[in-house]
């Protein structure tokens, strides 16, 4: 009931896939500075104004206390799975490099077709190392770079920018000082480059005391305008993955 009040549907991991694709939307205003105008092979993203990202809990990792590859279900506001994301990384890197590790995130649709590939090089996640912060390269379809997500240095707040293929800033993501989300949700605002207008938010939902203590799995909600450019939405799906590395 609490999840439904704040916009998070009461879904369960492994919920059945949607029976039919959502209709694609033709509304896509071209006079906005954050429009990238690059198509994605998907009929889901153009119509969504709420995207839920649920990190799956690995039972083996909980028992052994080891870091396993992250897996995510990406769902619409009805709790229907539209994508599935799997991290590819070397066990050695996960064990000894932890959140600094290089890895690849492969996002597939419900038919198993890879639609988005995200590459993350070896990076630092500390505000004291401003020259080596996180950067995600987004390919959609795989092999075609369409956007980047780059962490920006700030002594107090976590900040990211969404960039186009030429690494020109499109949008900013600004979070609060504390990102642990103890006993409450944490909101990251999606802003224009000058930070004068907020067009959406990314919420890290509090998963409860038991989950926080025994797991590091997180739930995120991405609230954006339904007519926001589809490539920008695809880039925003990667923001929670980057936030996972700074909050683990």
- Residue with the bigger pLDDT between 129 and 141: it is 141
Angstrom distances, CA of residue 163 to CA of 46, 56, 68: 19, 28, 29
Q: Which two tokens stand for residue 181?
A: 């989300």
* Residue written as token pair 């932890």: 98
- Enter the DSSP assignment of 46: G
The sign one gets for the Cα dihedral 184, 55, 80, 14 is negative
DSSP reduced 3-state for 140: coil
Compute the radius of gyration of the chain from its Cα atoms. Answer: 17
Checking if the pLDDT of 74 tops 80, the result is yes
- Enter the DSSP assignment of 165: T
Least confident of 7-11, 133-137, 193-197, 232-236: 7-11
Tell me the per-residue pLDDT of 100-139, one tens digit each, with 9 for 90 and over. 788 999 999 999 999 999 999 887 665 566 667 888 999 9
The structure's pTM equals 0.73
- Enter the DSSP assignment of 56: P
Residue-averaged pLDDT of the chain: 75
User: Residue 213 contacts by C-beta under 8 Å, 6 or more apart in sequence?
Assistant: none
What is the rounded distance in angstroms from the CA atom of residue 172 to the CA atom of residue 191?
5
Comparing CA positions, the residue from 105, 135, 133, 100 lying closest to residue 118 is 105
Q: In the beta sheet, which residues pair with residue 159?
A: 152, 174
SS3 content of the chain, % helix, strand, coil (to 5): 20, 30, 50
What is the rounded distance in angstroms from the CA atom of residue 24 to the CA atom of residue 20?
12
CA 22 to chain centre: 21
Tell me the per-residue pLDDT of 10-54, one tens digit each, with 9 for 90 and over. 333 333 443 333 333 334 444 444 444 444 444 567 678 899 998
């Amino acid at each position: 009931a609490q999840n439904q009040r704040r916009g998070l549907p009461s879904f369960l991991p492994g919920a059945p896939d949607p029976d039919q694709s959502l209709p694609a939307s033709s509304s896509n205003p071209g006079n906005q500075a954050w429009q990238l105008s690059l198509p994605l092979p998907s009929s889901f993203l153009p119509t969504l104004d709420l995207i839920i990202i649920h990190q799956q809990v690995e039972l083996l990792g909980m028992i052994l206390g080891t870091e396993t590859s992250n897996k995510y279900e990406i769902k619409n506001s009805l709790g229907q799975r539209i994508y599935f994301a799997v991290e590819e990384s070397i066990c050695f890197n996960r064990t000894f490099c932890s959140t600094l590790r290089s890895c690849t995130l492969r996002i597939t649709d419900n038919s198993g077709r890879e639609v988005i590939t995200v590459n993350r090089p070896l990076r630092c996640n500390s505000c004291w190392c401003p020259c080596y912060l996180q950067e995600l390269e987004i390919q959609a379809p795989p092999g075609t770079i369409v956007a980047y997500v780059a962490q920006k240095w700030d002594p107090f707040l976590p900040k990211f920018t969404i960039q186009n293929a030429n690494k020109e800033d499109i949008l900013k993501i600004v979070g609060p000082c504390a990102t642990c989300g103890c006993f409450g949700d944490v909101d990251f605002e999606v802003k224009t480059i000058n930070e004068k207008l907020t067009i959406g938010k990314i919420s890290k939902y509090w998963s409860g005391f038991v989950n926080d203590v025994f797991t590091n799995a997180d739930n995120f909600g991405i609230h954006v305008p339904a007519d926001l450019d589809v490539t920008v939405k695809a880039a925003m799906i990667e923001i929670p993955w980057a936030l996972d590395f700074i909050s683990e």
